[in-house]
Amino acid sequence: MKRRFAYFLAPALAAAAASPAAAQSRGAGLSLIRDAEIEHTIRAYSAPIFQAAGLSAAKIQVHLVNDSRINAFVAGGRHMFINTGLLMRAEHGGQVIGVIAHETGHIVGGHLVRLQRELADAQIKQIISMILSMGAAVAARDGRVAVAGQALGQRLTEGAFYQFTRTQESAADAFALTALDRAGISSRGLFEFLQILGEQEMLYAARQDPYLRTHPITRARADDVRQHLARSPHADRPLPKNFEAMHVRMRAKLIGFLRPPDQVIQRYRGKENTLEARYALAVAYHQDARLERALQFIDALIRESPNDAYFHELRGQILFESGRDHVRDAVLAYDRAVKLAPGEALIRVGLAQAQLETGDPRLQRAALDNLRAAIRDDDTYPLAWRLLSVAYGKAGDEGNAALANAEYAYLNRDLPTLRAAIVHAERGLKPGTPSWLRLQDLKTQVKQVLDDRRR
């Protein structure tokens, strides 16, 4: 597992979005990415939209899905998922913000709950159609009548379903335009994104990105946004300069990590004097196990911006993942990054992992402190809990080590490991302590999950 640009399989949420892409993910889980800098960028993009919508940013979780296709969707009422493919395809931050505004419209409108009801209603209609067609087939003694009746029922329910989703998409667009105006952000990015998707309508369905299939594009939708642009006072307002710089860096990082190194090197050949190229190439050469070249590019960026926490973080990751000989240098790089961005929980987790790897008891105790601090800020990162279990184990605290392992298993929905860890934690924790009380809460949550599965 890559430490900082970390992938993990996330169990599908109980109320997963009813789109084909999301439904397909329910069985296998979504491959999610955690990265401090990219999450910081998405938070910055989302904040003005959530504020305009009257939503608490702390209550909306935006997840990054490791998928090269253009897609975004909502689930569970307060979860938004954005594919890395969409972030890499977007030409500037305004297009990403437009998508976030649109998806926020689905959250505010409660479209997921209404869509699930519509799906249930459509299924009932199809069942009725099937029963009626089977009765007609018996009367006519011709099985072809049943097949024809079922096909007609399916077409009718599909037609009603897609009419319903088109209505939802138009409503989400209307909300997005209002929210963007309230936030003082141009809706041109949303219009441009609709144009990108419009180009895909010319492709065969199998080659289309899932966003197009789950968010049907119509000329009327694009025309509505164009007309809004013509009268919006913010139509030509540029984004803050730092937003554009953040988008360039986000794309460079994603390309560096997710594209084959040889393609990245070819893409940026002759452009090495730009920040985008150097950032992507630092990652690509690291992915290609060419440490000296990777350090050459990241060190050049650090010389230009010595107080950039994310550059120091990437240097720490490059060194940590290059072998034990470089672990102590990785600790120094991560430590510098944490000092520059003390509120970034994921960077603190990176520092703790490097500290644990040194085998130095003093640094291992520091790792325990860093992990506890990181989890106070973000308790949703499985790797942090797994490392905390290791750190407690090295400190000889078996009860808390088992509790941290239980938290890790709970996030991954690994029930066999979770049950065993709970039993182990109960033996090692003193009743009435905060850790013991947390264990009781966890047991209650596990019971709820099991009860939900039985329903």
CB 146 within 8 A of CB 136: yes
Nearest alpha-carbon partner for 246 in 39, 12, 30: 39
CA proximity to 93, closest of 52, 40, 57, 56: 40
Q: 6-109+169-231 sits in which CATH class?
A: alpha beta
The span from the CA of 321 to the CA of 165, in Å, is 45
The pLDDT value recorded for residue 16 is 28
Q: Where are the domains of the chain?
A: 6-109+169-231, 397-455
User: What pLDDT, on a 0 to 100 scale, did the predictor assign at position 17?
Assistant: 30
User: According to the model, what pLDDT value does residue 165 have?
Assistant: 60
Query: Alpha-carbon distance 447 to 143, whole Å?
Result: 48
List phi, psi (to 5°) of 216. Answer: -55, 130
Pairing of strands 61-65, 6-10: unpaired
DSSP 455: -
**% helix / strand / coil in the chain, to the nearest 5?**
75, 5, 20
Dihedral, 46, 49, 53, 54 alpha carbons, nearest 10 = 60
**How far is residue 45's CA from residue 183's CA, in Å, rounded to a whole number?**
11
pTM of the model: 0.81
**Chain-centre distance for alpha carbon 45:** 14
- Please name the residue that has the structure tokens 């298993």: 409
The alpha carbon torsion through 293, 42, 255, 9 (nearest 10 deg) reads 100
pLDDT at position 387, please?
A: 98
Q: What is the pLDDT of residue 406?
A: 97
Q: What is the 3-state secondary structure (H, E, C) of 289-300?
A: CCHHHHHHHHHH
Q: Quick one: pLDDT at residue 211?
A: 59
Token pair of 302 as six digits: 């650090």
- In which residue are the tokens 């400190």 written? 395
Distance CA 447, CA 422 (A): 12
In this prediction, the residues of the chain whose per-residue pLDDT falls under 70 are: 1-29, 110-166, 199-218, 455
Given a contact cutoff of 8 angstroms between Cβ atoms, the answer to whether 17 and 39 are in contact is no
DSSP category for residue 141: T
Closest residue by Cα to residue 310 from 29, 39, 12: 39
CA distances from 263 to 65, 177, 195, 286 (A): 22, 38, 27, 14
Q: In sequence order, what are the beta bridge partners of 161?
A: none
User: Is residue 84 within 8 Å of 31, Cβ to Cβ?
Assistant: no
Q: Are 145 and 51 in contact (CB under 8 A)?
A: no
Amino acid at residue number 299: D
Place of tokens 């940026």: 268
Token pair, residue 438, equals 């947390």
